[in-house]
Chain A
Amino acid sequence: MNTQNSIVNTVFSQIQHLLDDKSRSVTEDMPLIGGESVLDSMKLVELCLALEDTAAEIGFEFDWTSDATMSRSRSMFRTAGSLAAEFISQMETKK
């Protein structure tokens, strides 16, 4: 559980690093796509690349290009929380 919390914190801190308003805190329900997204599309790509690096350090490959992860209705980018959950899920499956 502690590991999971620490991963969630890592993902959230990477999101925060890309926010224009650095004083804003990242929450589980913060949208990453759609009209209310806090990140523009370029920042979203930068976030994916940063998560790839984090995954490599942990020892697995983070995949953000599969059909399932990109599907809008099921997209891992719905919220900061869903992205962290997907990251943890891939870590647990692939590690």
Chain B
Amino acid sequence: MDVLPLIQISGLEIHRGNRLILSNFDFELNEGELVSLVGSNGCGKTTLLESSAGMHTISSGSISWKYDELGLKLVRDSEGRRNSLPPMGLTLQKNGMSGEETVLERLQTVLQVSGCDFDSIKTSELLDCWGLNHRSGDRISQLSGGLARRLSVLSGIAPALLSNSPRVILLDEPSEGLDESAKNLLINWLRSLTSRGHGIIIATHDPDLISSSNRIVRFEDNNKISIDLRSKTDSNFVLPSTTQNVKIRKTSSLFYWAYRMEKRNPIDTINRLIPSILALLLCHSLISEDEISTVGLDFFSALILLPSFISVVIPPALIGRYSEENCGRWWSAVIGPKFRFSSSIIGSSILLPLPLIYISWIILSDNILLPNDDVIYWLWLPGLAMFFVSIASSSLHLLISDLRRAGASVASLLLLVLIWPFLQLTDSLEMIITDGISLGFSLDEPIFMILLAGVTSILVWFVSTYLPDT
């Protein structure tokens, strides 16, 4: 029986910017191969490497990867079909790491998403090999460029290093920023990893790395590509031992990673909280109880919900974290098609809307005579729907962040549609204040309006998450 390749690319055509990078390109990466992508700047090495990981939309062709039990499975094609990758190692041209992470956390995250079993001894051993163990508790932002690159390269190699089955490693200019000793270590590790059956693709200009590979894909002028075969060189270098493959935890790792980043530096919470509290205090100081009584309960309801609404439409800090050193692109490659869906939930304001509604109620309803005293028991209902508004807002911000200069675009223009759930929730709160809660299902019932606000938000969320990946 033929041994299946680890990666199979057929008839690939890719455009980047206004350029045709690859046309009708066929390629296979086999077990035990180290392939170098070589060529001048901008020739398409990085594009091919990243496209192999399904990171780019393709004009025609398909990319398939070998899954341990399933055989070859489609990862991406020109029709928009997409599947998540099997466990693999990836080092991008930029490091793909957030400065908030510690060195140890980064390595642990990489091993979790690739289903490698590990303990503190194993992680210390790996970090020690690369001279990083003494910095394991430091944030990546505190490392020098060279040390950060070492960590990034180690993170790209580690998923294959500990695995007892053949895996793919994709490394984009791994020797850039490494000193001689680290580069020699890298070359020795790569040779030994191919001896274990892993397949490696590197995009590089480094002659030492090129000479250690056993196939060279050379990008020449006019989109021509030539392939040189070299004899295979085995290595006797001793690598750290493998461990058992365990359950892969991709999405949960992303949730936990985002939680840790926010816990360490709560910019998302503060960015959302300050404008909301300011709005609340301004409402409280500029609008008197008499004025509220005069303008009506719909206005009062809008004031109660306003701080919460402001908190949910603020751009999520997660987008800033993703843009640091291409961190989001690394996560996108690892998580696959579920990345946008997961990120829109993680990036939304989960905790703030509900407390803000209660705080607004306590502050603004003081000294106002209201027809119903039970409102405070039911405020959680519009708060719950506000959570869906938050997810919709987060997904719209993520859609805009796809643009290369996302900071130069006017996000607020797309957020206008969220005025509808806000108006529906205002209506529902007004009904609760006037008549209390009831379980009827008509236009004059608060439950219906809250459901409508939730459904409207979910539709916006669905469209803005589904369309971009189609």
Report if A and B associate in a common complex.
no
Residues of B within 8 A of A (CB): none
Residues of A within 8 A of B (CB): none
